[in-house]
Structure 1
């Protein structure tokens, strides 16, 4: 007989915006409106109320999780009789193109770095671990940029393994959104932060397990906590088109920009081009690779059409 799973049986506990906001308790606001404006991406709607209602409760939760992780580390250290140094607490931030991952990652970094014990909080995006355009062109992968196969996964895993092993410093490649490519011979150094935030499209992606039973690490294996930012396909498409139109009047006008040719498009041409790119590349990647990883996250932040988070789902322990 077929077994049915009742809808209320879920690994997540869901909260409305008001319910989640109440969990802030006495967590202090440590950002001012000017700082919030700097953290916000051009097409996002992020204000003090959003920080207060969504990100301060999350900051409070993460402070508890990090403290619990440190206690567990000391217990393990005592059991093993070792003197290892505490390794960074790693937070992954995933979601579609145009959903606001960068804003969320930057806000979390700013809030976490202002805890009373002022921890060192670093941020890395997986864009730097994309293969250079020359490699993508040679392998006919330019139309698959952002898909799992377009990343130098062994290098990304080596980086995260080094971070978790406490090696110092570790280098992460730099990506330029102006030239749309990895910058040769330039890196940022990550030197044993207390917390590392890793933001990217496919950071919760897994692969097919091997038949021989050998361990195959995934990026998410290195995360202590993960966040997925969610929105409906039609809303994401609208945000992507709006961002494309805004960039056409700003960054695309830079002669160095990979997309400089788009700055000369008419409004109708720009909308048609943006929708074509969205449907041909970004929507396909979302449906095939990104959205299926949503339920692997510890926390799901669901946005409405106004770019405001109106539902929060926290994985049960």
Structure 2
């Protein structure tokens, strides 16, 4: 397992010429910085596209019907079959692929919000459970050419997470309760998958 300690190293690695399309997975616990890193990579690598896993949350109404709204973000609160299907299309179809986005303001998936054109040679996929080996998620990792797990200090990650929840409408108390409750349960599950990654990304402040 190799280790990357700067965005520049990572961009150089992923910018190397490759035959066909490359599908890259960025994995990390809630608050680890997956979205920020994935967005930076997609903007820095020639002909790259971004595919976040968040678009495959079940809608709020479905979560309520299933009795899972109070732990939104757990593995079984995502439409994993649809996520695998879009990854298969990205990997094998050769044509334009439409994927779901996610509106954090209302916490709802948005159909066909993302367009991945055929000329996009690198697709950056980011999400919590790309390396999970159960519940249907075991079909994800075989569709990735490379996977990277983000290593970050837990205290830093927690403060980022609380700040994010507050930014999207939770009170400070509710934000911390959610970060230490459902988010932390998910973080432990994700940590158990880290050894399956091909590479570690350890980005320090300012890097």
- Regarding TM over 0.5, the answer is yes
The structure 2 residue matched to 1:293, chosen from 193, 199, 203, is 193
Deviation of residue 143 (structure 1)? 2.0
Map 1:105-124 onto structure 2 (within 5 A). 105-113=38-46, 120-124=47-51
1:171 aligns with 2:72: no
CA distance 1:279–1:297, shift in 2 (3 Å): same
Map 1:125-274 onto structure 2 (within 5 A). 125-183=52-110, 185-192=111-118, 193-207=120-134, 218-245=139-166, 247=167, 252=168, 259=169, 262=170, 270-274=171-175
Deviation of residue 303 (structure 1)? 4.5
Deviation of residue 189 (structure 1)? 2.1
Q: Deviations over 1:277-306 (max 9, x none)?
A: 11111001111x2111111112212355xx
Normalised by the length of structure 2, the TM-score is 0.89
Counterpart Cα distance in 2 of 1:303 and 1:121: 21
Counterpart Cα distance in 2 of 1:129 and 1:13: 30
- Spell out structure 1 runs of 4+ moving beyond 6 A: none
CA distance 1:14–1:164, shift in 2 (3 Å): closer
Counterpart Cα distance in 1 of 2:8 and 2:127: 22
Segments of structure 2 that go 5 or more residues without pairing to the other structure are none
Is the 1:233–1:283 contact (alpha carbons within 8 Å) kept by the matching residues of 2? no
Counterpart Cα distance in 2 of 1:102 and 1:14: 19
Residue of structure 2 in register with 1:42 after alignment: none
Name the stretch that deviates more: 90-99 or 166-175. Answer: 166-175
Is the 2:3–2:199 contact (alpha carbons within 8 Å) kept by the matching residues of 1? no
CA RMSD of aligned residues (A): 2.3
